[in-house]
Amino acid sequence: MMRYSALSLLGNAFSKNKNWKPAWRNPDPKPHYDVIIIGGGGHGLATAYYLSKVFGVRNVAVLEKGYLGSGNIGRNTTIIRSNYLLQGNNPFYEFSMKLWEGLEQDFNFNAMVSQRGVINLFHSDAQRDAYTRRGNAMRLHGVDADLLGRDQLREKLPFLDYENARFPIMGGLMQKRGGTVRHDAVAWGFARGADQHGVDIIQNCEVTAIDREGDQVTGVQTTRGAIKCNKIGMAVAGNSSHVAGMVDMRLPIESHALQAFVSEGLKPFIDTVVTFGAGHFYVSQSDKGGLVFGGDIEGYNSYAQRGNLACVEHVAEAGMAMIPALSRVRILRSWGGIMDMSMDGTPIMDRTHLGNLYFNGGWCYGGFKATPASGYCFAHLLAKDEPHETATEFRMDRFARGYLLDEKGVGAQANLH
Amino acid sequence: MSSLVKCPHCGLRPREEFAIRGEVATPRPKAGADESAWFDHVYLRDNPRGEHREYWHHAGGCRRWLVLSRNTVTHDISDVVDASTLKVGGDA
């Protein structure tokens, strides 16, 4: 397999780029694997990558019902950050951030990891107190956090509506190590890396049933035939309830649509990620110049990868309230993805009632930033049958036990997280 | 989905007038029911890919609680009724 480098780029340029090889194979499914991962999105591919590279489990298949990268990994707003408050969340997301920082060298693929900073705006004294607390919690966990006053913020982001009559901007909490990553390249990099370590990535292969014997799973039925295995890992995001239903599991999860938007290309304008504190809106500028932004989920259960016009209007209004200069920017395109919204807004990564079936889901709309750590920790769980030290709180039974991780504090109402 | 919802009291109204509670889950248990019944009711969802019954509140209209029958893939709404006519609330 070809290693990408400046030299390989030069060599291929001289041979008129005729000798590039496909980045991964396109194999037919084998009759048996040690581990089958259902779902070839970011988390599934990352799991296969770390499973084969770090934990030495190489007889692995990733089954993807569509084409690689057709789900949420290619539908998000590409933001990475680790500015979490809760004890159970923060170390995990910081682990993810550290993996992002070394990812491109690790899997030899340019994912355009850009630590341009993430700023969360606050608009009241109470919100400043909350963000101060969050910043302190981050620092206690060894994560960088800076509280910016209004004047410091003005220097960085002069175009915000500081004097908004209803929601004046008083400052912001900044994580300098946060930023953006090119999302498609994350899928491709993990796919290529996993493939190099012997993982079979099988596209257009939808799982239609899971075979059981007693309290164990033995394999899956797919649109490309039956495949046997020793273990199954489920990483199917918005389709979690649907796939779990194949083994009679009901989950504390609802599926909701979230839209993302890109504007026409503009000159350099926003060199960081900014989130609105008075509404749900987050924006950054891509290297091509388009503003990449999004807002809230639609509010009703959905399995359709498209959104509603009411939400488009709402997001545009929130954007305008934060940056009035957006009024004449035209939206180029928008798209929707299906989020697996858990009942406390925090993911679930655990064993299930079936001994060798493992579940990874409930990432709500924060799954992208977690991709590397989710893959690493899920691979750890699959290989060693025990959770990684940063993912011990993402238990399936935390709802029944009352140990929720409700970062936002809104209770068991999935469409509010 | 359609941006209009046919309220049984008010007729066709824009989707923004409604607040969405979500799935008509297992009925609310009696106050003294055991923890597993409450866990079921509060946290677990069918979350089907297809036909789905859910509570919507016509917050910006008649302020009645409604039960929509809606397809979560096509977003077609096949039925809207006032929640009080269904008696799905359980014992409590």
Biggest CA pair distance of chain B: 42
Q: What is the distance between the alpha carbons of residues B13 and B3, in angstroms, rounded to a whole number?
A: 8
Q: Which of A254, A300, A314 to mutate to test the interface with B (most CBs of B within 10 A)?
A: A300
Q: How many CB atoms lie within 10 A of CB A117?
A: 20
The residue with tokens 């924060």 is A366
**Got the DSSP string for chain B?**
--SEEEETTTEEEEGGG-EEEEE--SPBPPTT--HHHHHHHHH-B---SSEEEEEEE-TTTT--EEEEEEETTT--EEEEEEGGGT--SB--
Contacting B residues, span 28-87, partner chain A, CB-CB under 8 Å? 35-36, 39, 42-49, 52, 54, 70, 72-75
User: How many contacts, defined by CB atoms under 8 Å, are there between A and B?
Assistant: 75
Angle at B46 between CA B40 and CA B48, to 5 degrees: 175
Give the whole-angstrom CA distance, residue A87 versus residue A184: 31
Closest CA to A195 of A21, A323, A330: A21
Q: Which of B15, B17, B47, B73 to mutate to test the interface with A (most CBs of A within 10 A)?
A: B47
Tell if the CB–CB gap between B54 and A300 is shorter than 8 Å.
yes
**Three-state DSSP class for residue A344:** coil
State the pairing for strand pair A32-38/B65-71: unpaired
Q: What are phi and psi of A186, to 5 degrees?
A: -65, -45
Q: What tokens appear for A146 in the block?
A: 């800076």
ipTM attached to this prediction: 0.93
Query: Distance between CA atoms of B16 and B57, rounded to whole angstroms?
Result: 11
Measured distance CA(A408)–CA(A392) in Å, rounded: 20
CB–CB of B43 and A400 under 8 A? yes
Which helix (H) or strand (E) segment holds residue A200: the answer is: strand A200-202
Q: What does the alpha-carbon distance between residue A300 and residue B54 come to, in Å, rounded to a whole number?
A: 9
Each residue's pLDDT expressed in tens, for chain A with a length of 417 residues = 689 999 999 999 999 999 999 999 999 999 999 999 999 999 999 999 999 999 999 999 999 999 998 999 999 999 999 999 999 999 999 999 999 999 999 999 999 999 999 999 999 999 999 999 999 999 999 999 999 999 999 999 999 999 999 999 999 999 999 999 999 999 999 999 999 999 999 999 999 999 999 999 999 999 999 999 999 999 999 999 999 999 999 999 999 999 999 999 999 999 999 999 999 999 999 999 999 999 999 999 999 998 889 899 999 999 999 999 999 999 999 999 999 999 999 999 999 999 999 999 999 999 999 999 999 999 999 999 999 999 999 999 999 999 999 999 999 999 998
**Rounded to an integer, what distance in angstroms lies between the CA atom of residue A243 and that of residue A293?**
30
CA distance A346 to chain B (A): 13
What phi and psi, each to the nearest 5 degrees, are found at residue B76?
-70, 135
Contact B49 A399 (CB under 8 A): no
Tokens 């993996």 -> residue: A99
Q: Whole-model pTM?
A: 0.96
Taking CA–CA distances from A249, the nearest residue in chain B reads: B46
Query: Which residue matches tokens 């359980």?
Result: B90
Domains of chain B: 4-85 (3.30.2270.10)
